[in-house]
């Protein structure tokens, strides 16, 4: 309980001192407190320990985990190929799985330069026309460009993105009607600063085959949010237009919340959390969560971002509701933008627990 009382005390200190909450570069907020404590007695709530948190995926996907384990332990790509071949191309899950395989390969290459991700190299050499392998290769290049190329604007960043663009277009030829290669290219469009006309042409290909794809809309939102592109108004207009035309049960109603997150100021004052913009975006996301299918693959993405906002707004019970649903997997914004996603998530979980208990909550009162 010492951690709990420490967090409560720090919360009171932050409230007393005013605008000491600053946005961390790449996402998240930094509290005026040392270290990154885990939740107050996470075991009491059945929460995972910080070292047990999975940073690869936003939510549980046992089939994906089994396939990843198989390819990484044996070096054989067939398990990954079979999983993607059996995953519907129209839905969100295929995109998430391609991202996970590409991310796993990128991480291997960081940890073991030149020798990591041999399974993906073999996949491409032995089955060059396998659509799944082509998509994972394109995703690997995109992740390398954004995470390991020396920074946006560097020569390496552009070279890798040019290679990724070509890989995306080859992947699209292997899988007609599959939106994933086009969605992956949206990240390339962002990095290479496609002119609007070229971006619109690409976006038309996406919505032609997957008009309500949440992952595609998130990728497109990042393009509209880039500073070189012009204005926050364009990003907001895109997000609100998508939310307005979203069918019943679609998580696109939560897109304005992602737009707000993308434009959070460097210094976050107390009145930011009470603003009408934040309140409306959170309400829209809460509505989306309530009406979405329980098995929607993008539901965890929305819950993770909601947790970040609800903690800032001191809506502790609702924040704990998000923790209850997402705990264990933290491979989503805002945590994935931090240097240590698990530690960043653990801080917010700890604050949610502290605020919840300070207002009379306990493990016994948290719904199952």
Give the whole-angstrom CA distance, residue 178 versus residue 210.
8
Specify the pLDDT at position 4: 39
> Per-residue pLDDT for 34 more than 60?
no
* Per-residue pLDDT tens over the stretch 82-117: 999 999 988 899 999 999 999 999 989 989 988 889
Give the whole-angstrom CA distance, residue 163 versus residue 159.
6
- Domains of the chain plus CATH, in order, are 1-55+246-368 (no CATH), 63-212 (1.25.40)
CA distances from 322 to 29, 288, 305, 318, 366 (A): 18, 13, 9, 7, 11
Q: Which of 10-14, 173-177, 331-335, 346-350 has the lowest mean pLDDT?
A: 10-14
Specify the pLDDT at position 146: 83
Specify the pLDDT at position 66: 95
Specify the pLDDT at position 44: 86
Specify the pLDDT at position 265: 74
Give the whole-angstrom CA distance, residue 31 versus residue 83.
41
* Per-residue pLDDT tens over the stretch 237-290: 999 999 999 999 999 999 999 999 998 876 677 788 999 999 999 999 999 999
**What are the backbone angles phi and psi of residue 329, rounded to the nearest 5°?**
-125, 130
Give the chain's end-to-end CA distance (angstroms, integer).
23
Mean pLDDT on 112-141: 95
> Per-residue pLDDT for 9 more than 50?
no
* Per-residue pLDDT tens over the stretch 311-322: 999 999 999 999
> Per-residue pLDDT for 230 more than 60?
no
């Amino acid at each position: 309980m010492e951690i709990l009382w420490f967090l409560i005390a720090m919360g009171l200190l932050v409230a007393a001192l005013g605008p000491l909450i600053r946005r961390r570069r790449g996402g998240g907020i930094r509290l005026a407190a040392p270290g990154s404590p885990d939740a107050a007695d996470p075991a009491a709530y059945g929460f995972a320990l910080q070292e047990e948190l999975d940073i690869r995926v936003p939510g549980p996907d046992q089939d994906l985990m089994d396939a990843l384990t198989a390819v990484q332990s044996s070096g054989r790509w067939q398990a990954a190929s079979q999983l993607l071949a059996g995953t519907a191309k129209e839905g969100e899950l295929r995109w998430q799985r391609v991202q996970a395989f590409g991310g796993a390969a990128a991480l291997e290459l960081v940890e073991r330069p030149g020798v990591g991700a041999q399974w993906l190299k073999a996949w491409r050499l032995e089955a060059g026309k396998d659509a799944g392998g082509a998509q994972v290769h394109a995703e690997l290049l995109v992740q390398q460009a954004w995470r390991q190329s020396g920074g946006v604007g560097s020569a390496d960043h552009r070279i890798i993105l040019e290679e990724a663009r070509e890989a995306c277009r080859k992947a699209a030829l292997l899988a007609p009607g599959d939106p994933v290669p086009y969605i992956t290219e949206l990240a390339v469009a962002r990095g290479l600063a496609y002119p609007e006309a070229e971006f619109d042409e690409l976006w038309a290909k996406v919505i032609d085959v997957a008009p309500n794809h949440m992952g595609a809309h998130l990728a497109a939102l990042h393009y509209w949010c880039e500073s070189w592109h012009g204005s926050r108004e364009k990003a907001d207009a895109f997000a609100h237009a998508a939310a307005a035309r979203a069918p019943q049960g679609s998580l696109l109603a939560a897109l304005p919340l992602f737009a707000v997150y993308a434009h959070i100021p460097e210094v976050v004052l107390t009145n930011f959390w009470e603003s009408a913009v934040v309140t409306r975006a959170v309400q829209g996301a809460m509505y989306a969560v309530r009406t979405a299918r329980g098995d929607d693959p993008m539901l965890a993405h929305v819950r993770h971002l909601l947790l970040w906002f609800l903690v800032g707004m001191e809506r502790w019970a609702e924040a704990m509701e998000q923790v209850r649903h997402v705990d264990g997997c933290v491979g989503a914004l805002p945590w994935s933008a931090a240097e240590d996603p698990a530690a960043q998530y653990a801080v917010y979980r700890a604050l949610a627990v502290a605020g919840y208990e300070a207002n009379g909550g306990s493990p016994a009162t948290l719904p199952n």
